[in-house]
Amino acid sequence: RPQLESARGNGYRIEIGEVAEILARHAPQASLLHGDLWSGNAGFTAEGPVLFDPAVYYGDREADLAMAELFGGFPPEFYAAYEKAWPLEPGYANRKHLYNLYHLLNHLNLFGGGYLAQVEATLRLLLQAL
């Protein structure tokens, strides 16, 4: 909601309707999240994989996975291994867009109108999912 209010304050006419209803019956187990999980915050050393720039909090694990898909993504093997270790619940394909809406609105507020089309496309996907 704060990102949406900021976007409106910045002059963007964005209506989200009832998209939050996508989470109405979703009751995830709280998980420790990276908070900014995208390919730019991951790397490899001789000892193995590393993550940078954590913004750690507890929440729905799907929020981290959604962010991991948003900007660049990870190799398909990452998602396959995750799905094998802890399968996602039905509905993730819709919920991920709602989780990513926060990041898209944040980028719209920080960097300007170049993100507006992506915000609008995400909202169309969410409204179709209702």
User: Which are the contacts of 76, defined by CB distance < 8 A and separation ≥ 6?
Assistant: none
Which pTM does this prediction carry?
A: 0.90
Residue 104: what pLDDT? 98
Read off φ and ψ for residue 119, nearest 5 degrees: -60, -45
Is 36 a known active-site residue? yes
Bridge partner residues of 45 (DSSP): 48
Catalytic residue among 36, 53, 60, 64: 36
User: Which are the contacts of 56, defined by CB distance < 8 A and separation ≥ 6?
Assistant: 32, 33, 34, 35
**What's the N-to-C CA distance of the chain in angstroms?**
19
In the chain, what's the furthest Cα-to-Cα distance?
49
Residue 65 binned pLDDT confidence (cut-offs 50, 70, 90) = very high
Residue 72 binned pLDDT confidence (cut-offs 50, 70, 90) = confident
For CA atoms 31, 80, 38, 95, the dihedral sign is negative
Please report, rounded to a whole number, the percentage of residues in the chain having pLDDT higher than 70: 100
